[in-house]
Amino acid sequence: MGVNSYFANRQGFFATKLSTLVNGVTNWGRENSLWPYPFGTACCGIEFMGVVSNVHDISRFGAELVRFSPKQADLLVVAGTITHKMAPVLQRVYDQMLEPKWVIAFGVCAASGGFYDNYSVVQGIDRVIPVDVYLPGCPPRPEAFFEALTMLQKKIRDEKLDAHEFARVPQMAHER
């Protein structure tokens, strides 16, 4: 983000214009080429397969390049229930992803624990990692995922480049 820091400290008409232009072009590129990492653990992971497959076809939104390495992805799709045993793994995968990165909580289990209100299930992944879009449904339909994706794209479009300058360091909820 060197370019961006450079413009952030400059004043004046041209610098501002150029900064806006760079901002817009970068965001346009980012929003239309998201590389998802499907952290699919349960039923929602199966439905995420439906999202990727031919009938619904995620590539219409430029996000079909599914990566299974956190280092190559910028969109973490947490599809499924996260248990206490799994939470450190999720946090580690998130920490390994490079900035900029976004998170979609796919399904109610990821968003809030769903109807698994018991000793084993984390009551929402936002107790472990930050979340950009919450997507309800048990599991959500593929169409619902596309709505979440377009909401995220809109969010990225409006982002200032500075937003990702500082890595967001998450904390486990009970440590706060």
Residues that bind other proteins (CB under 8 A): 39-43, 45-47, 49-50, 53-55, 68, 80-81, 83-90, 92-93, 115-121, 123, 138-139, 141, 172, 174
Residue 44 CA, chain-centre distance (Å), reads 16
First to last CA, the chain: 30
Name the residue among 36, 49, 56 with its Cα closest to residue 103: 36
Q: Closer CB to other proteins, residue 41 or residue 112?
A: 41
Distance CA 153, CA 111 (A): 19
Q: Closer CB to other proteins, residue 14 or residue 68?
A: 68
Distance CA 171, CA 128 (A): 6
Q: Closer CB to other proteins, residue 11 or residue 54?
A: 54
Q: Closer CB to other proteins, residue 22 or residue 89?
A: 89
Q: Closer CB to other proteins, residue 18 or residue 52?
A: 52
Least distance between other proteins and beta carbon 148 (Å):
17
DSSP letters along 71-101, please? Answer: GG-SEEEEES--BTTTHHHHHHHHHHSPSS-
- Half-sphere exposure in the Cβ direction for 163 (13 Å, CA): 14
Name the residue among 121, 30, 29 with its Cα closest to residue 82: 121
Least distance between other proteins and beta carbon 67 (Å):
10
Q: Which residues contact 137 (CB under 8 A, 6 or more apart)?
A: 107, 108, 144
Q: Closer CB to other proteins, residue 17 or residue 84?
A: 84
Least distance between other proteins and beta carbon 158 (Å):
31
Least distance between other proteins and beta carbon 47 (Å):
6
Least distance between other proteins and beta carbon 32 (Å):
23
Least distance between other proteins and beta carbon 171 (Å):
12
